[in-house]
Amino acid sequence: MRTLLTGHLGQLATDFKSLLTSDSLILTEYEDLKLQNAPQVLELVSAAMPDLILNCAAYNRVDEAEDRPEDAFAANTFGVRNLALAARATGAVLVHFSTDYVFDSPGRSTPFTEADTPCPRSVYAISKLGGELMLQSTWHKHFIFRVCGLYGYAGSRDKGSNFVETMLALARQDKPIRVVKDQILTPTSTLDVAAHVIKIVQSERFGLYHLTAGGCCSWYDFASAIFEESGLSPDLSPVPSDHYKTRAHRPAYSVLDNVNLRQAGFDDLPHWRSGLRRYLAGRLGNGRH
């Protein structure tokens, strides 16, 4: 299957590259394909004629988006529309990734399903929901996967790392570590996401899917598990969200239920702790020390 992979330097895209046949991949990054440029997107897709487009490109600077909404919407909303128009013109299947941040209901304590109404509360989250709606209204041959708490060996291109590596680095500095306890989510390995997506897209069961690991935890619980699985005992303490002043609001609870995945006959992802163990076991082989 001839596949166009956007945002190929990111952590999720890097795992796709490790699982797909390299001679069938067309790789692009923001420097050579600006998704907000509709004519350029159509020209590239028309020339490449992919069977499948995996859109891993996104504006993920959550706090900066509050002050630069035009950049967030250019990539996360209008860029998706341009890809959808190009996919429609060429007949390609388009796979797009959204976020748990489209949900944020104060007091919620049960996982969100695909049938729940989104309630985004940040510019970033609104721009991601906008991308979903643009794709759904433009081209029917699509998959939208909402993911949560991603971490992969390549690290986020915007952040330069991921939560696991940040915690391990802080532990080596032998300084107090303070992590929020009141934000509940599901940390998910990008390798697990990529492996499942490759299976699902072959089914042509198009639509919206939640795609996260099993279980849930707070960021503090996740940090505790990282240290426990790594045999480390740093000075770790829980703090409330308002301990860190951020421009953008973070959901207090954004756990997703993979209902559509199971109804389509696919296996659920492993529990988040299982994904963490496998990530830690493979760190050295993937250039992490």
- By annotation, the residues acting in catalysis are 124
Contacts of 66 (CB under 8 A, 6+ apart): 122, 123, 124, 247, 248
DSSP symbol at 189: E
Whole-number Å distance between alpha carbons of 173 and 236: 13
Q: How many beta carbons lie within 10 A of that of residue 58, not counting itself? A: 27
Residue 112: CA count within 13 A, CB half-sphere: 32
Q: Where are the beta strands (DSSP E) in the chain?
A: 3-6, 25-27, 52-55, 93-99, 142-147, 150-151, 177-180, 184-185, 188-189, 207-210, 217-218, 236-239
Alpha-carbon distance of 143 to 197, in angstroms, equals: 9
What are residue 259's DSSP bridge partners?
Answer: none
> Cα separation of 206 and 95, whole Å?
9
Phi, psi of 189 (to 5 degrees): -70, 130
**Cα 265 to the chain's mean position, in Å?**
22
Q: Are the beta carbons of 62 and 130 closer than 8 angstroms?
A: no
Phi, psi of 45 (to 5 degrees): -65, -40
- Residue 156 has which token pair? 């986020």
